[in-house]
Amino acid sequence: MFIFLSVGPALPQNAPPGNPTNTGFMAQQPNDRLASRLVGLNIQNTGDENIGEIHDIVLTDAGAIKAYIVSVGGFLGMGTRYVAIDPKAVTLTRQDEKTWKATMNANKDQLRAAPEYKYESEWRKR
């Protein structure tokens, strides 16, 4: 007679969504947003005028989005400046399976007047 016992961690009852076994691996969720779809995305104001482009994303130590770095002004990379925008000020809506739209209640002049974001220390733009 053989008796097989399985010894291992019990499955937690309060595991986070997308990670039912708390293994560190995540399952894809239908409302996931990929950073690669956001970087390069034009931001429009409520009048559908392009006012800037998401150039980069600043993360907190916990990995949450702290700010969108938006490029403002300039032409062919000359005269471009960067400003940090609170993610709560930007509305992201899915247009279709692959396309997102970013809008915010501001105009180009307001973005140009915002404090400049400068890449510093180890995170200096390469």
**Residue 60 pLDDT > 70:** yes
Do β-strands 42-44 and 100-103 pair in parallel, antiparallel, or remain unpaired?
Answer: parallel
Is residue 65 within a helix (H) or strand (E), and if so which, with residue range? strand 65-72
- Burial label, 113 (beta-carbon count in 10 A; 0-12, 13-18, 19+): exposed
Q: What is the pLDDT of residue 26?
A: 82
Q: What are the tokens at 39?
A: 């970087």
Residues in the chain: 126
98-121 pLDDT per residue, tens: 788 999 999 989 998 999 998 876
**Residue 37 pLDDT > 70:** yes
**Residue 61 pLDDT > 70:** yes
Out of 2.70.170.10, 3.90.1150.10, 3.40.50.300, 2.30.30.240, which CATH number does the structure's domain 35-118 have?
Answer: 2.30.30.240
Between residues 76 and 6, the one the model is more confident about: 76
Q: How far is CA 14 from the centre of its chain?
A: 26
| Residue whose pair of structure tokens reads 């940090």 in the numeric block | 84
